[in-house]
Chains A and B, each alone.
Chain A
Protein backbone atom coordinates (compact mmCIF):
# COMPACT_ATOMS: atom_id res chain seq x y z
CA UNK A 1 0.00 0.00 0.00
CA UNK A 2 1.61 3.29 -1.02
CA UNK A 3 2.11 5.92 1.69
CA UNK A 4 -0.02 9.06 1.83
CA UNK A 5 2.71 11.14 0.19
CA UNK A 6 3.69 8.64 -2.51
CA UNK A 7 3.10 9.41 -6.17
CA UNK A 8 1.37 6.05 -6.74
CA UNK A 9 -1.32 7.34 -4.37
CA UNK A 10 -2.15 10.41 -6.45
CA UNK A 11 -2.81 8.93 -9.87
CA UNK A 12 -6.06 10.51 -11.07
CA UNK A 13 -8.93 8.73 -12.78
CA UNK A 14 -9.13 9.42 -16.53
CA UNK A 15 -12.05 11.83 -16.16
CA UNK A 16 -10.22 14.04 -13.62
CA UNK A 17 -10.64 17.78 -14.16
CA UNK A 18 -7.12 18.99 -15.02
CA UNK A 19 -8.06 22.61 -14.23
CA UNK A 20 -7.74 21.75 -10.53
CA UNK A 21 -3.97 21.34 -10.87
CA UNK A 22 -3.00 24.98 -11.63
CA UNK A 23 -4.48 26.29 -8.32
CA UNK A 24 -2.32 23.75 -6.44
CA UNK A 25 0.75 24.93 -8.31
CA UNK A 26 -0.24 28.55 -7.64
CA UNK A 27 -0.65 27.76 -3.93
CA UNK A 28 2.99 26.69 -3.85
CA UNK A 29 4.38 29.51 -5.96
CA UNK A 30 2.33 32.32 -4.39
CA UNK A 31 3.86 31.38 -1.03
CA UNK A 32 7.48 31.01 -2.07
CA UNK A 33 7.19 34.19 -4.17
CA UNK A 34 7.29 36.02 -0.83
CA UNK A 35 11.08 35.97 -1.30
CA UNK A 36 10.79 38.96 -3.65
CA UNK A 37 9.14 40.98 -0.86
CA UNK A 38 11.76 40.26 1.80
CA UNK A 39 13.03 43.83 1.59
CA UNK A 40 9.91 45.12 3.42
CA UNK A 41 11.54 43.78 6.62
CA UNK A 42 14.91 45.46 6.04
CA UNK A 43 14.35 48.73 7.86
CA UNK A 44 12.44 47.27 10.86
CA UNK A 45 15.17 44.64 11.21
CA UNK A 46 17.83 47.36 11.46
CA UNK A 47 16.14 48.62 14.64
CA UNK A 48 15.35 45.42 16.47
CA UNK A 49 17.21 46.66 19.57
CA UNK A 50 16.47 50.36 19.36
CA UNK A 51 12.86 49.81 18.11
CA UNK A 52 12.24 53.45 17.07
CA UNK A 53 15.77 53.93 15.64
CA UNK A 54 18.95 51.92 15.07
CA UNK A 55 21.31 51.70 18.03
CA UNK A 56 24.75 50.17 18.58
CA UNK A 57 24.51 46.39 18.09
CA UNK A 58 21.59 46.58 15.68
CA UNK A 59 21.97 44.72 12.38
CA UNK A 60 23.11 46.67 9.32
CA UNK A 61 21.48 46.57 5.87
CA UNK A 62 24.64 44.92 4.49
CA UNK A 63 24.37 42.11 7.05
CA UNK A 64 20.67 41.70 6.33
CA UNK A 65 21.29 41.57 2.57
CA UNK A 66 22.89 38.16 3.09
CA UNK A 67 19.55 36.62 4.13
CA UNK A 68 18.19 37.04 0.59
CA UNK A 69 21.49 36.10 -1.04
CA UNK A 70 21.73 32.84 0.92
CA UNK A 71 18.10 32.01 0.11
CA UNK A 72 18.60 32.57 -3.65
CA UNK A 73 21.85 30.59 -3.73
CA UNK A 74 20.08 27.77 -1.86
CA UNK A 75 17.19 27.99 -4.34
CA UNK A 76 19.56 27.32 -7.24
CA UNK A 77 21.55 24.65 -5.41
CA UNK A 78 18.57 22.75 -4.01
CA UNK A 79 16.71 22.87 -7.34
CA UNK A 80 19.81 21.40 -9.01
CA UNK A 81 20.52 18.83 -6.26
CA UNK A 82 16.96 17.69 -5.54
CA UNK A 83 15.55 17.92 -9.07
CA UNK A 84 15.89 14.17 -9.66
CA UNK A 85 14.39 13.41 -6.24
CA UNK A 86 11.43 15.74 -6.91
CA UNK A 87 10.80 13.96 -10.19
CA UNK A 88 11.10 10.49 -8.62
CA UNK A 89 8.98 11.09 -5.53
CA UNK A 90 6.18 13.10 -7.15
CA UNK A 91 4.60 16.48 -6.45
CA UNK A 92 2.74 15.63 -3.24
CA UNK A 93 5.83 14.55 -1.30
CA UNK A 94 8.10 17.26 -2.73
CA UNK A 95 5.38 19.90 -2.32
CA UNK A 96 4.95 18.90 1.31
CA UNK A 97 8.70 18.93 1.97
CA UNK A 98 8.88 22.40 0.38
CA UNK A 99 6.00 23.54 2.63
CA UNK A 100 7.76 22.25 5.75
CA UNK A 101 11.10 23.82 4.80
CA UNK A 102 9.51 27.17 3.91
CA UNK A 103 7.29 27.28 7.02
CA UNK A 104 9.99 26.05 9.42
CA UNK A 105 12.46 28.46 7.81
CA UNK A 106 10.23 31.36 8.87
CA UNK A 107 9.80 29.98 12.38
CA UNK A 108 13.55 29.46 12.90
CA UNK A 109 14.14 32.93 11.45
CA UNK A 110 11.57 34.38 13.87
CA UNK A 111 13.44 32.75 16.76
CA UNK A 112 16.64 34.36 15.47
CA UNK A 113 14.94 37.77 15.28
CA UNK A 114 13.42 37.56 18.77
CA UNK A 115 16.72 36.40 20.33
CA UNK A 116 18.73 38.76 18.06
CA UNK A 117 20.95 36.04 16.64
CA UNK A 118 21.54 36.73 12.96
CA UNK A 119 23.04 33.30 12.28
CA UNK A 120 19.67 31.78 13.15
CA UNK A 121 17.96 34.04 10.60
CA UNK A 122 20.54 33.00 7.98
CA UNK A 123 19.97 29.36 8.90
CA UNK A 124 16.17 29.62 9.04
CA UNK A 125 15.09 31.83 6.17
CA UNK A 126 18.30 31.61 4.13
CA UNK A 127 19.30 27.97 4.36
CA UNK A 128 16.19 25.96 5.36
CA UNK A 129 13.76 28.34 3.64
CA UNK A 130 16.05 28.48 0.58
CA UNK A 131 15.81 24.69 0.23
CA UNK A 132 12.02 25.06 0.38
CA UNK A 133 12.25 27.70 -2.35
CA UNK A 134 14.22 25.44 -4.69
CA UNK A 135 12.11 22.33 -4.15
CA UNK A 136 8.86 24.30 -4.25
CA UNK A 137 9.82 26.11 -7.44
CA UNK A 138 10.36 22.95 -9.51
CA UNK A 139 7.66 20.81 -7.86
CA UNK A 140 4.69 21.69 -10.13
CA UNK A 141 6.60 21.78 -13.43
CA UNK A 142 6.47 18.11 -14.44
CA UNK A 143 2.91 17.70 -13.15
CA UNK A 144 1.62 20.67 -15.14
CA UNK A 145 3.40 19.65 -18.33
CA UNK A 146 1.96 16.14 -17.94
CA UNK A 147 -1.57 17.52 -17.56
CA UNK A 148 -1.23 20.16 -20.27
CA UNK A 149 0.89 18.60 -23.04
CA UNK A 150 -1.14 20.71 -25.48
CA UNK A 151 -0.44 23.98 -23.61
CA UNK A 152 2.86 23.48 -21.80
CA UNK A 153 3.82 27.14 -21.86
CA UNK A 154 0.51 28.40 -20.52
CA UNK A 155 0.43 25.80 -17.74
CA UNK A 156 3.94 26.40 -16.41
CA UNK A 157 3.49 30.13 -17.04
CA UNK A 158 0.49 30.13 -14.72
CA UNK A 159 2.47 28.53 -11.88
CA UNK A 160 5.56 30.66 -12.34
CA UNK A 161 3.33 33.73 -12.56
CA UNK A 162 2.48 32.85 -8.95
CA UNK A 163 6.11 33.32 -7.99
CA UNK A 164 5.90 36.88 -9.32
CA UNK A 165 2.52 37.41 -7.68
CA UNK A 166 3.65 36.14 -4.26
CA UNK A 167 5.44 39.38 -3.53
CA UNK A 168 2.35 41.40 -4.40
CA UNK A 169 0.49 39.59 -1.62
CA UNK A 170 3.36 39.31 0.88
CA UNK A 171 4.32 42.97 0.78
CA UNK A 172 0.99 44.53 1.95
CA UNK A 173 0.28 41.51 4.18
CA UNK A 174 3.60 41.90 5.97
CA UNK A 175 3.02 45.64 6.38
CA UNK A 176 -0.41 45.02 7.90
CA UNK A 177 0.89 42.33 10.27
CA UNK A 178 3.89 44.39 11.39
CA UNK A 179 1.62 47.34 12.16
CA UNK A 180 -0.69 45.05 14.16
CA UNK A 181 2.14 43.49 16.18
CA UNK A 182 4.36 46.53 16.69
CA UNK A 183 4.51 48.07 20.14
CA UNK A 184 6.91 50.33 22.07
CA UNK A 185 8.85 47.15 22.92
CA UNK A 186 8.78 45.39 19.53
CA UNK A 187 8.98 46.08 15.80
CA UNK A 188 6.55 43.20 15.26
CA UNK A 189 8.80 41.44 12.72
CA UNK A 190 9.30 38.22 14.71
CA UNK A 191 5.55 37.81 15.32
CA UNK A 192 4.88 38.55 11.65
CA UNK A 193 7.32 35.82 10.62
CA UNK A 194 5.60 33.33 12.96
CA UNK A 195 2.22 34.09 11.38
CA UNK A 196 3.62 33.97 7.84
CA UNK A 197 5.41 30.67 8.56
CA UNK A 198 2.23 29.03 9.81
CA UNK A 199 0.04 30.46 7.02
CA UNK A 200 2.50 29.41 4.31
CA UNK A 201 2.86 25.93 5.82
CA UNK A 202 -0.91 25.41 5.77
CA UNK A 203 -1.42 26.93 2.32
CA UNK A 204 1.42 25.03 0.66
CA UNK A 205 0.42 21.77 2.33
CA UNK A 206 -3.09 22.26 0.94
CA UNK A 207 -1.61 22.72 -2.53
CA UNK A 208 0.67 19.68 -2.14
CA UNK A 209 -2.25 17.44 -1.18
CA UNK A 210 -4.27 18.69 -4.14
CA UNK A 211 -1.75 17.52 -6.75
CA UNK A 212 -2.75 14.61 -8.96
CA UNK A 213 -0.83 12.87 -11.73
CA UNK A 214 -2.49 11.76 -14.96
CA UNK A 215 -2.90 8.03 -15.42
CA UNK A 216 -0.41 6.41 -17.82
CA UNK A 217 -1.70 6.84 -21.35
CA UNK A 218 -3.93 9.79 -20.47
CA UNK A 219 -4.12 12.66 -22.93
CA UNK A 220 -6.45 15.67 -23.24
CA UNK A 221 -9.69 14.95 -25.03
CA UNK A 222 -9.44 15.53 -28.76
CA UNK A 223 -5.70 16.14 -28.66
CA UNK A 224 -3.34 14.14 -30.83
CA UNK A 225 0.34 14.17 -29.87
CA UNK A 226 2.33 15.79 -32.68
CA UNK A 227 4.50 13.43 -34.67
CA UNK A 228 8.20 14.19 -34.32
CA UNK A 229 9.48 15.66 -37.56
CA UNK A 230 13.04 15.44 -38.83
CA UNK A 231 14.96 18.45 -37.54
CA UNK A 232 12.14 19.57 -35.23
CA UNK A 233 13.15 21.04 -31.90
CA UNK A 234 10.22 19.35 -30.18
CA UNK A 235 11.12 15.78 -29.30
CA UNK A 236 8.92 12.91 -28.19
CA UNK A 237 12.00 11.17 -26.75
CA UNK A 238 13.76 11.82 -23.47
CA UNK A 239 17.22 12.82 -22.35
CA UNK A 240 18.28 11.99 -18.80
CA UNK A 241 19.45 14.92 -16.65
CA UNK A 242 22.95 13.43 -16.53
CA UNK A 243 23.07 13.33 -20.34
CA UNK A 244 21.33 16.69 -20.74
CA UNK A 245 24.12 18.60 -19.02
CA UNK A 246 26.59 16.99 -21.45
CA UNK A 247 24.80 18.49 -24.46
CA UNK A 248 25.66 21.89 -25.97
CA UNK A 249 21.91 22.60 -26.06
CA UNK A 250 21.73 22.61 -22.26
CA UNK A 251 24.56 25.14 -21.96
CA UNK A 252 23.22 27.36 -24.74
CA UNK A 253 19.90 27.38 -22.91
CA UNK A 254 21.71 27.99 -19.60
CA UNK A 255 23.21 31.15 -21.13
CA UNK A 256 19.86 32.09 -22.69
CA UNK A 257 18.28 32.06 -19.23
CA UNK A 258 21.27 33.61 -17.48
CA UNK A 259 21.57 36.54 -19.93
CA UNK A 260 17.84 37.20 -20.05
CA UNK A 261 17.67 37.21 -16.24
CA UNK A 262 20.87 39.28 -15.86
CA UNK A 263 19.42 41.99 -18.09
CA UNK A 264 16.26 42.19 -15.97
CA UNK A 265 17.47 41.56 -12.44
CA UNK A 266 20.05 44.34 -12.52
CA UNK A 267 17.53 47.05 -13.25
CA UNK A 268 14.82 45.55 -11.06
CA UNK A 269 16.80 46.31 -7.90
CA UNK A 270 17.75 49.80 -9.09
CA UNK A 271 14.45 50.85 -10.67
CA UNK A 272 13.43 53.28 -7.96
CA UNK A 273 16.78 55.08 -7.81
CA UNK A 274 17.13 55.03 -11.60
CA UNK A 275 13.85 56.79 -12.41
CA UNK A 276 14.43 59.40 -9.69
CA UNK A 277 17.96 60.17 -10.86
CA UNK A 278 17.14 60.21 -14.59
CA UNK A 279 14.14 62.52 -14.07
CA UNK A 280 15.37 64.54 -11.10
CA UNK A 281 12.70 66.83 -9.66
CA UNK A 282 9.95 65.27 -11.76
CA UNK A 283 9.59 61.85 -10.11
CA UNK A 284 9.04 61.76 -6.34
CA UNK A 285 9.94 58.86 -4.06
CA UNK A 286 6.31 57.74 -3.85
CA UNK A 287 5.93 57.92 -7.65
CA UNK A 288 9.11 55.83 -7.92
CA UNK A 289 7.57 53.28 -5.53
CA UNK A 290 4.55 53.25 -7.87
CA UNK A 291 6.92 52.54 -10.77
CA UNK A 292 8.38 49.57 -8.86
CA UNK A 293 4.85 48.31 -8.21
CA UNK A 294 3.95 48.65 -11.89
CA UNK A 295 7.06 46.69 -12.81
CA UNK A 296 6.03 43.91 -10.40
CA UNK A 297 2.68 43.69 -12.19
CA UNK A 298 4.35 43.45 -15.59
CA UNK A 299 6.83 40.91 -14.21
CA UNK A 300 3.89 38.78 -13.09
CA UNK A 301 1.75 39.33 -16.20
CA UNK A 302 4.69 38.64 -18.51
CA UNK A 303 5.18 35.24 -16.93
CA UNK A 304 1.74 34.13 -18.00
CA UNK A 305 1.32 35.98 -21.29
CA UNK A 306 4.74 35.30 -22.86
CA UNK A 307 4.69 31.63 -21.86
CA UNK A 308 1.18 31.30 -23.30
CA UNK A 309 2.29 33.01 -26.51
CA UNK A 310 5.16 30.51 -26.74
CA UNK A 311 2.56 27.75 -27.24
CA UNK A 312 1.54 29.52 -30.45
CA UNK A 313 4.83 30.80 -31.89
CA UNK A 314 7.30 28.32 -30.34
CA UNK A 315 9.83 28.72 -27.53
CA UNK A 316 12.80 29.59 -29.71
CA UNK A 317 10.85 32.35 -31.44
CA UNK A 318 9.64 33.68 -28.07
CA UNK A 319 13.20 33.99 -26.76
CA UNK A 320 14.24 35.57 -30.07
CA UNK A 321 11.56 38.23 -29.44
CA UNK A 322 12.91 38.76 -25.89
CA UNK A 323 16.43 39.32 -27.16
CA UNK A 324 15.61 41.48 -30.20
CA UNK A 325 12.93 43.62 -28.55
CA UNK A 326 14.94 43.79 -25.30
CA UNK A 327 18.01 45.05 -27.17
CA UNK A 328 16.00 47.74 -28.96
CA UNK A 329 14.32 48.89 -25.73
CA UNK A 330 17.58 49.04 -23.75
CA UNK A 331 19.12 51.12 -26.53
CA UNK A 332 16.12 53.47 -26.40
CA UNK A 333 16.22 54.03 -22.61
CA UNK A 334 18.99 56.68 -22.66
CA UNK A 335 17.00 58.56 -25.33
CA UNK A 336 13.96 58.65 -23.02
CA UNK A 337 16.11 60.43 -20.43
CA UNK A 338 17.41 62.84 -23.06
CA UNK A 339 13.95 63.82 -24.29
CA UNK A 340 12.59 63.78 -20.72
CA UNK A 341 9.75 61.35 -21.42
CA UNK A 342 8.81 59.58 -18.19
CA UNK A 343 5.97 57.70 -19.90
CA UNK A 344 8.27 56.35 -22.61
CA UNK A 345 10.84 55.35 -19.96
CA UNK A 346 8.18 53.54 -17.89
CA UNK A 347 6.79 51.80 -20.98
CA UNK A 348 10.26 50.57 -22.01
CA UNK A 349 10.95 49.09 -18.58
CA UNK A 350 7.51 47.54 -18.20
CA UNK A 351 8.03 45.61 -21.44
CA UNK A 352 11.62 44.71 -20.47
CA UNK A 353 10.46 43.37 -17.09
CA UNK A 354 7.60 41.43 -18.67
CA UNK A 355 10.22 39.65 -20.79
CA UNK A 356 12.36 39.03 -17.71
CA UNK A 357 9.38 37.23 -16.16
CA UNK A 358 8.59 35.54 -19.46
CA UNK A 359 12.12 34.13 -19.58
CA UNK A 360 11.53 32.27 -16.31
CA UNK A 361 8.15 30.89 -17.27
CA UNK A 362 8.98 29.81 -20.81
CA UNK A 363 12.13 27.87 -19.92
CA UNK A 364 10.39 24.73 -18.49
CA UNK A 365 8.37 24.29 -21.70
CA UNK A 366 11.51 24.97 -23.79
CA UNK A 367 13.38 22.28 -21.83
CA UNK A 368 10.55 19.78 -22.25
CA UNK A 369 10.52 20.49 -25.99
CA UNK A 370 14.25 19.88 -26.35
CA UNK A 371 14.94 17.18 -23.72
CA UNK A 372 11.52 15.52 -23.41
CA UNK A 373 8.92 15.52 -20.65
CA UNK A 374 10.10 12.60 -18.54
CA UNK A 375 12.96 14.31 -16.67
CA UNK A 376 11.91 17.93 -17.10
CA UNK A 377 11.87 18.80 -13.37
CA UNK A 378 15.38 17.47 -12.89
CA UNK A 379 16.73 19.28 -15.96
CA UNK A 380 14.85 22.44 -14.95
CA UNK A 381 16.39 22.22 -11.48
CA UNK A 382 19.86 22.11 -12.97
CA UNK A 383 19.31 25.05 -15.32
CA UNK A 384 18.12 27.24 -12.42
CA UNK A 385 21.78 27.62 -11.39
CA UNK A 386 21.75 30.20 -14.22
CA UNK A 387 19.40 32.27 -12.06
CA UNK A 388 21.82 32.15 -9.12
CA UNK A 389 24.65 33.27 -11.42
CA UNK A 390 22.49 36.06 -12.88
CA UNK A 391 21.61 37.15 -9.34
CA UNK A 392 25.29 38.00 -8.92
CA UNK A 393 26.08 39.31 -12.47
CA UNK A 394 23.08 41.62 -12.84
CA UNK A 395 23.28 43.79 -9.71
CA UNK A 396 27.09 43.82 -9.84
CA UNK A 397 27.05 45.09 -13.45
CA UNK A 398 24.50 47.81 -12.74
CA UNK A 399 25.92 48.96 -9.41
CA UNK A 400 29.63 48.92 -10.24
CA UNK A 401 29.33 50.48 -13.68
CA UNK A 402 27.21 53.27 -12.19
CA UNK A 403 29.72 53.83 -9.37
CA UNK A 404 32.61 53.85 -11.82
CA UNK A 405 30.85 56.39 -14.04
CA UNK A 406 30.01 58.74 -11.16
CA UNK A 407 33.59 58.47 -9.86
CA UNK A 408 34.76 59.57 -13.33
CA UNK A 409 32.62 62.68 -13.36
CA UNK A 410 29.57 61.47 -15.30
CA UNK A 411 26.40 63.25 -14.06
CA UNK A 412 24.08 60.96 -12.07
CA UNK A 413 21.23 61.24 -14.58
CA UNK A 414 23.51 59.93 -17.33
CA UNK A 415 25.26 57.29 -15.21
CA UNK A 416 22.96 54.48 -16.33
CA UNK A 417 23.49 54.97 -20.08
CA UNK A 418 26.54 52.73 -20.39
CA UNK A 419 24.78 50.07 -18.29
CA UNK A 420 21.87 50.10 -20.72
CA UNK A 421 24.23 49.61 -23.68
CA UNK A 422 25.97 46.74 -21.88
CA UNK A 423 22.61 45.11 -21.13
CA UNK A 424 21.73 45.44 -24.83
CA UNK A 425 25.07 43.79 -25.67
CA UNK A 426 24.30 40.89 -23.31
CA UNK A 427 20.96 40.39 -25.01
CA UNK A 428 22.66 40.25 -28.42
CA UNK A 429 24.88 37.43 -27.09
CA UNK A 430 21.74 35.76 -25.73
CA UNK A 431 20.13 35.99 -29.16
CA UNK A 432 22.98 34.02 -30.71
CA UNK A 433 22.96 31.44 -27.88
CA UNK A 434 19.25 30.92 -28.54
CA UNK A 435 19.89 30.67 -32.26
CA UNK A 436 22.43 27.92 -31.59
CA UNK A 437 19.86 25.66 -29.85
CA UNK A 438 19.31 22.73 -32.23
CA UNK A 439 17.63 19.33 -31.75
CA UNK A 440 19.54 16.99 -29.42
CA UNK A 441 21.75 14.43 -31.13
CA UNK A 442 20.46 10.83 -31.13
CA UNK A 443 23.45 9.69 -29.07
CA UNK A 444 22.09 11.61 -26.05
CA UNK A 445 18.56 10.17 -26.25
CA UNK A 446 17.69 7.73 -23.48
CA UNK A 447 17.47 4.15 -24.66
CA UNK A 448 13.78 3.50 -24.16
CA UNK A 449 11.66 0.42 -24.22
CA UNK A 450 9.30 2.48 -26.32
CA UNK A 451 9.14 6.19 -27.04
CA UNK A 452 7.15 7.99 -24.34
CA UNK A 453 4.11 9.61 -25.92
CA UNK A 454 3.29 13.21 -25.10
CA UNK A 455 1.52 13.57 -21.80
CA UNK A 456 2.26 10.03 -20.78
CA UNK A 457 4.33 10.00 -17.63
CA UNK A 458 6.06 6.98 -16.18
CA UNK A 459 5.56 6.41 -12.48
CA UNK A 460 8.10 3.64 -12.12
CA UNK A 461 10.69 4.57 -9.53
Chain B
Protein backbone atom coordinates (compact mmCIF):
# COMPACT_ATOMS: atom_id res chain seq x y z
CA UNK B 1 0.00 0.00 0.00
CA UNK B 2 1.42 3.39 -0.95
CA UNK B 3 1.56 6.06 1.71
CA UNK B 4 0.79 9.11 -0.38
CA UNK B 5 1.15 11.67 2.38
CA UNK B 6 4.63 10.54 3.36
CA UNK B 7 6.02 10.43 -0.16
CA UNK B 8 4.82 13.77 -1.48
CA UNK B 9 4.42 17.37 -0.38
CA UNK B 10 1.84 19.26 -2.38
CA UNK B 11 3.77 22.18 -3.87
CA UNK B 12 1.92 21.84 -7.14
CA UNK B 13 -0.40 24.83 -6.72
CA UNK B 14 2.46 27.27 -6.13
CA UNK B 15 2.06 29.77 -9.02
CA UNK B 16 5.83 30.19 -9.32
CA UNK B 17 6.30 26.43 -9.82
CA UNK B 18 3.49 26.25 -12.38
CA UNK B 19 4.82 29.30 -14.27
CA UNK B 20 8.38 27.88 -14.20
CA UNK B 21 7.26 24.51 -15.55
CA UNK B 22 5.24 25.99 -18.41
CA UNK B 23 7.85 28.66 -19.23
CA UNK B 24 10.55 25.97 -19.34
CA UNK B 25 8.85 24.29 -22.29
CA UNK B 26 6.84 27.23 -23.64
CA UNK B 27 9.66 29.70 -24.23
CA UNK B 28 11.85 27.35 -26.33
CA UNK B 29 8.76 26.22 -28.25
CA UNK B 30 7.68 29.80 -28.91
CA UNK B 31 11.20 30.65 -30.09
CA UNK B 32 11.10 27.69 -32.49
CA UNK B 33 7.64 28.61 -33.77
CA UNK B 34 8.62 32.26 -34.36
CA UNK B 35 11.79 31.22 -36.20
CA UNK B 36 9.78 28.89 -38.42
CA UNK B 37 7.09 31.51 -39.07
CA UNK B 38 9.74 34.00 -40.20
CA UNK B 39 11.13 31.37 -42.56
CA UNK B 40 7.62 30.56 -43.81
CA UNK B 41 7.05 34.22 -44.70
CA UNK B 42 9.41 33.74 -47.64
CA UNK B 43 6.65 31.74 -49.28
CA UNK B 44 4.38 34.77 -49.43
CA UNK B 45 6.94 37.38 -50.50
Chain A residues within 8 Å of B, Cβ to Cβ: 2, 8-17, 19-20, 23-24, 26-27, 30, 162, 165, 167-172, 206, 210, 212, 215-216, 283-284, 286-291, 293-294, 296-297, 300, 346, 459
Known: A27-B24, A30-B28, A168-B29. A291 touches B2 (CB 8 A): no
Beyond known contacts A13-B8, A165-B33: 6 more, CB 8 A cutoff: A11-B2, A12-B10, A23-B24, A162-B25, A286-B42, A290-B44
Instruction: Encode contact with A along B7-45: 1 for CB under 8 Å, 0 otherwise.
Output: 110101100011001101110110111011101111111
Rounded to whole Å, the gap between the CB of A202 and the closest CB of chain B is 11
* Docked CA distance A168–B39 (Å): 11
Known: A13-B10, A15-B10. A20 touches B17 (CB 8 A): yes
* Docked CA distance A13–B28 (Å): 30
**Of B2, B5, B40, which is within 8 A of A8 by CB?**
B2
Known: A11-B7, A12-B8, A172-B32. A289 touches B39 (CB 8 A): yes
**Of A23, A165, A212, which is within 8 A of B22 by CB?**
A23
Task: Report chain A residues within 8 Å CB of B4.
Answer: 11-14, 215
Contact assessment for A172 and B7 in the assembled complex, using a CB-CB cutoff below 8 Å: no
Rounded to whole Å, the gap between the CB of A113 and the closest CB of chain B is 24
Q: Can you name 17 A-B pairs with beta carbons within 8 Å?
A: A2-B7, A8-B7, A9-B7, A11-B8, A12-B4, A16-B8, A23-B22, A30-B28, A169-B31, A171-B32, A287-B43, A290-B39, A290-B40, A290-B41, A290-B42, A297-B37, A297-B40
Contact assessment for A168 and B18 in the assembled complex, using a CB-CB cutoff below 8 Å: no
Contact assessment for B12 and A168 in the assembled complex, using a CB-CB cutoff below 8 Å: no
Contact assessment for B35 and A13 in the assembled complex, using a CB-CB cutoff below 8 Å: no
Task: Report chain B residues within 8 Å CB of A15.
Answer: 10, 12-13
Contact assessment for A165 and B32 in the assembled complex, using a CB-CB cutoff below 8 Å: yes
**Of A9, A206, A293, which is within 8 A of B39 by CB?**
A293
Residue of B at shortest CB range from A14? B4
Most buried by B among A26, A290, A346, A459: A290
Rounded to whole Å, the gap between the CB of A94 and the closest CB of chain B is 19
Task: Report chain B residues within 8 Å CB of A12.
Answer: 4, 8, 10, 12
* Docked CA distance A24–B17 (Å): 12
Rounded to whole Å, the gap between the CB of A387 and the closest CB of chain B is 22
Task: Report chain B residues within 8 Å CB of A294.
Answer: 36, 40, 43
Task: Report chain B residues within 8 Å CB of A215.
Answer: 2, 4
**Of B24, B32, B35, B45, which is within 8 A of A287 by CB?**
B45
Rounded to whole Å, the gap between the CB of B38 and the closest CB of chain A is 8
Task: Report chain A residues within 8 Å CB of B18.
Answer: 17, 19-20
Contact assessment for A165 and B17 in the assembled complex, using a CB-CB cutoff below 8 Å: no
Task: Report chain B residues within 8 Å CB of A14.
Answer: 4
Contact assessment for A291 and B8 in the assembled complex, using a CB-CB cutoff below 8 Å: no
Rounded to whole Å, the gap between the CB of A341 and the closest CB of chain B is 14
Known: A8-B2, A19-B18. A169 touches B28 (CB 8 A): yes
Residue of A at shortest CB range from B43? A290
Most buried by A among B5, B7, B22, B41: B7
Task: Report chain B residues within 8 Å CB of A290.
Answer: 39-44
Contact assessment for B21 and A346 in the assembled complex, using a CB-CB cutoff below 8 Å: no
Q: Which 5 A-B pairs have the closest CB atoms?
A: A168-B32, A290-B43, A290-B42, A169-B32, A17-B12
Contact assessment for B33 and A297 in the assembled complex, using a CB-CB cutoff below 8 Å: yes
**Of B10, B28, B36, which is within 8 A of A293 by CB?**
B36
Rounded to whole Å, the gap between the CB of B28 and the closest CB of chain A is 5
Contact assessment for A23 and B13 in the assembled complex, using a CB-CB cutoff below 8 Å: no
Contact assessment for A346 and B43 in the assembled complex, using a CB-CB cutoff below 8 Å: yes
Contact assessment for A165 and B12 in the assembled complex, using a CB-CB cutoff below 8 Å: no
Contact assessment for B43 and A23 in the assembled complex, using a CB-CB cutoff below 8 Å: no
Task: Report chain B residues within 8 Å CB of A171.
Answer: 32, 35-36
Task: Report chain A residues within 8 Å CB of B8.
Answer: 10-13, 16, 212
* Docked CA distance A8–B45 (Å): 56
Contact assessment for B42 and A289 in the assembled complex, using a CB-CB cutoff below 8 Å: yes
Contact assessment for A172 and B35 in the assembled complex, using a CB-CB cutoff below 8 Å: yes
* Docked CA distance A164–B10 (Å): 32
* Docked CA distance A216–B4 (Å): 10
* Docked CA distance A79–B42 (Å): 38
Rounded to whole Å, the gap between the CB of B21 and the closest CB of chain A is 4
Contact assessment for B21 and A20 in the assembled complex, using a CB-CB cutoff below 8 Å: yes
Task: Report chain B residues within 8 Å CB of A170.
Answer: 32
Task: Report chain A residues within 8 Å CB of B29.
Answer: 26, 30, 162, 165, 168-169
